[in-house]
Amino acid sequence: MLAFLQLVRLPTIFTAMADIVLGYVLTHLAIVGPTGFDNASKFFGLLASSCCLYLAGMVFNDVFDRKQDAEERPSRPIPSGRVPLRAAVIFGAVLMIVGVAAAATVTRVSLHVSVLLVVAILLYDGVLKRTPLAPVAMGLCRALNVMLGASDHEFWKPFFLGPPQTYAAAFLGLYIVGVTLFARTEARTSNRWVLVLALVILDAAIGGLVWLVHFWPTGARVPVVAAMLAVIAFTLNRRAITAIANPTPQNVQPVIKLLLLSYVMLDATLVFWKMAESGQVGAAHALATAALVVPALLLSRLIPMT
């Protein structure tokens, strides 16, 4: 069981959950209101779909990387023999089927987005990962995951593709482009200039989110939200600059973990911004999203996030 949990990088699943929470609140008044869940079956259907597709992506990542991992990280589940290749492929395929089926229970748009997400995941894992387009492909996967959370609509327009969810998904996808570029050669000494470019992209993504909260009238408490985003940016920049100065795996890999956990905090900050006018209900949604960092941190002591 531990080998399979390591295969799917279980601690990182909470970043996918945060995407769904954000996408959902950007298109709904709340997930849980004074009278209970807004629509429990739809929210949890989207959450289940996202989790299954995310885990499947992790499985197929290791399936396609098994030869490289045998040289660079032989302790991983597949090259070490703890998870047979055939079992991994079946496991990943079942997760994908369940993920698409869960989305199909919500709306037609959810089904369509889940299929697009499957295509993007397989393109990244199997075709684009070793090309210059890999970071963009991974960013697209994340943007689609946010949009999956916003897909509780029967028609693509005007609600599904409207702002602010589309802008939020684009900027968070750009953030993951930076994370992917930063992690490009994490198993060996990284190129400083590649890390610098990744940090510029990360800062541009956070800058885009600052623009969104300032100029889109949906949210509230803009100065507080901007300050929260600034704190996140300062923290990751401080750690990233240290890694750039000495780009060994021992310095780069902890920064990648920080970037992934900071992603959850970005989602939580946007949830707070969108729901700030909802008072205690909005604060509870933001705190619940931020709290996803806790199980991710605890599990990361046993199961590596990268």
Pairwise pLDDT comparison (54 vs 34), residue with the higher score? 54
What is the pLDDT confidence band of residue 276, given thresholds at 50, 70 and 90? confident
pLDDT in tens, 139-177: 999 999 999 999 887 665 655 677 788 999 999 999 999
Q: What is the pLDDT of residue 284?
A: 85
- Strand (E) or helix (H) holding 225: helix 222-245
Other C-beta atoms within 10 Å of 109: how many? 22
Question: What is the spatial distance between Cα 12 and Cα 21, in angstroms, rounded to a whole number?
Answer: 15
Q: Is the pLDDT of residue 255 over 80?
A: yes
Task: Estimate the share of the chain in helix, then strand, then coil, as percent rounded to the nearest 5.
Answer: 75, 0, 25
Please report the domains of the chain, with CATH numbers, ordered by start residue: 2-300 (1.10.357.140)
The rounded distance, in Å, linking the Cα atoms of 226 and 213 is 7
DSSP-assigned letter for residue 78: T
- Contact present, 183 and 254 (Cβ < 8 Å): no
pLDDT band, very low/low/confident/very high, at 269 (cuts 50, 70, 90): very high
Alpha-carbon span 113 to 95, nearest angstrom: 16
The structure tokens listed for 206 are 């956070």
Mean pLDDT of 102-128: 94
